[in-house]
Structures are given as structure tokens and as C-alpha cells.
Amino acid sequence: MNAPLEDPRLLRGKPVKDRILGEVADYVRSVPHIGKLVSVSIGDVPEVAIYIRNQARAAEAVGLPFDQQFWDGETAQEECKLRIQEMNDDPDVLGVILQRPVPSHINVRSLQSAIHPLKDIEGMSPASIGNIVYNDVAMAPCTAASAVELIRETGLNMEGLEVVMVGHSEIVGKPAAMMLMAEGATVTVCHHMTRSVAMHSRRADVVVVAVGKAHLIGADMIKPGAAVIDIGINQVRHEDGTVGIVGDVDTEAIKEIAGWVSPVPGGVGPVTVAILMRNAIKAHQRQQEAGWLNI
């Protein structure tokens, strides 16, 4: 019996992830030495375990050393900053990943700012996000960059593309909008005070959604043939009592209208961890350019 054909409307992330990780692995093999990635978790936060595991697997796949550090939840803000400063000064540390959430006494923005921009492989520091305004997107926030990568997969010409970004968070919506503008797209950003999201989304060539509200976007909100990139992750309880993960988009309904739609799970998520690895080699290149490395 033949396996069912893959729905061509689904923009799955795995092929994109595999391609990016292959490019990163080729780069890592081409250099005589490369530093390690350091994952920092503060306190006992079970929900970050899956992220760390996926990052560790991706790092192993491309040949990057991956150091998992778990700091006590009572560690003071200043002590955390001192430890990060030590990593900034350590030539054997290629990049630092600050896992979130952090304990309530930690100012995550201040701590993210403490990571040197050339070691901020998540692209989350104010300096890294600020660079996007100047069209420097080499080390952009990973999830935002993943959305842009999936749009490229459609083959649509970015120049003049009409894009509606639903959601304006500092780590996804805003940087994604700026990255798309850097590519030449015309971007409209919608948020909780937008009078009619549907009025904007129905005219868009591409709709990117990052809100955190299950099935916010339905088929009546999409132009026929449009590309829909779903960044939302929502835990829902089904009628039979089971718990599942869905996006901000009603995928089953949308795919009957849209030209492409990224599924949740399996769309943006796999690409995000690959972008993290790609940012790591960008960090290596920029550290070389800055004279930090002699290789």
C-alpha cells in the first residue's frame, strides 16, 4: 500500500531545518576549532527542558559543543551578570543561550543585555534587535528569522510583497516586521488595539501570526492563495479529554483557502533551532572579523 502523498499546501519546517543544519555542519567541519554554546537555565523550570533537548540535539548534529548549565533559582541578578561577563571574556565560549522563563527576581531584559552582542546567538539583546533597524539581520531573533525563512520557501518575491503581521511582541512580531521590511516587503502590523484584523489580513499576500490565541485566524480572514505563517503555540484540551498543541491559525480550515500554511507543530518550530545554529556560525565569523579569534 502506497503512503499518502504529502499535502503541498503545508509548509513543513523539517526540510528547511535539515538544509540549514547541513550548511552549518559543513562550516563547522571547515574550521580547525570552534568554541562551545552555553545554555543557561536559572531555577527549576521543567517547561524549558524540551527546548534545551532540541538545541542540544541540533548542536550535536552540526558538531558544535553544547554546555548545559543549571543555576540555582536563588542566584542574585548581579551574580548572574558576573557569570555572563566571564563567558563574554572566555574565548572558548562561542555563544550564550539564556533560557526563559527566569525567576521573578531576575530582570530578563537586563540579563539579556549583559550578553555581548557577538555572543548573543539568540538575537535577543537590545543591541541585536536594534541592528535590524539598520537592515543588519545576520543574528536576528531566531523565531522571527524562522518565519522569514519559511516565507522564502514559498518562492514568493519579497520585494513589494504585502505582508500582515498579527502580533507585535518585542521578540517576534516587531523584529519579524522589520526583517520583512529589510527584504522589501510592505508590512502592516496588527495588535490588540487594531479595529479589524480581518480587514487587513484579507488583502495580504502573506499573513504571519504570533499572538498566543488558539485558532484566532480562520478561513474567512485569508485571501485565496495567500501564505500563512503560524508562530503560535497553544495548549488545548480536546473533547475527549486529551491535551494537544495547536497554533493561532485554524490550519484545517485555512489550507482550503491558502496557497501555503505552516502547521503547528512541525512548521516554524523545527526551523527556529536550526536558525540558532546558523546564528552561531555567524557569531564565529563576526568574532573573527573583530579580531577575537586567530583561526
- Indicate whether 2 pLDDT > 90: no
- Measure the CA–CA gap between 157 and 188, rounded to whole angstroms: 17
Q: What integer is the mean pLDDT of 42-46? A: 90
Q: How far apart are CA 48 and CA 43, in angstroms?
A: 11
Domain covering 33-117 in this structure, CATH number: 3.40.50.10860
Mean pLDDT, rounded, for 153-161 = 96
142-270: CATH superfamily: NAD(P)-binding Rossmann-like Domain (3.40.50.720)
| Cβ–Cβ < 8 Å for 15, 46 | no
User: What is the spatial distance between Cα 10 and Cα 61, in angstroms, rounded to a whole number?
Assistant: 25
Higher pLDDT, 129 or 189: 189
From the CA atom positions of the chain, what is the Rg in Å? 20
pTM over the 0.75 mark: yes
pLDDT at 5: 52
pLDDT at residue 1 is higher than 50 = no
Q: Convert the pLDDT of each residue in 72-120 to its tens digit.
A: 999 999 999 999 999 999 999 999 999 999 999 999 999 999 999 999 9
Domain coordinates in residue numbering, the chain: 33-117, 142-270
Lowest mean pLDDT among 122-126, 187-191, 270-274: 122-126
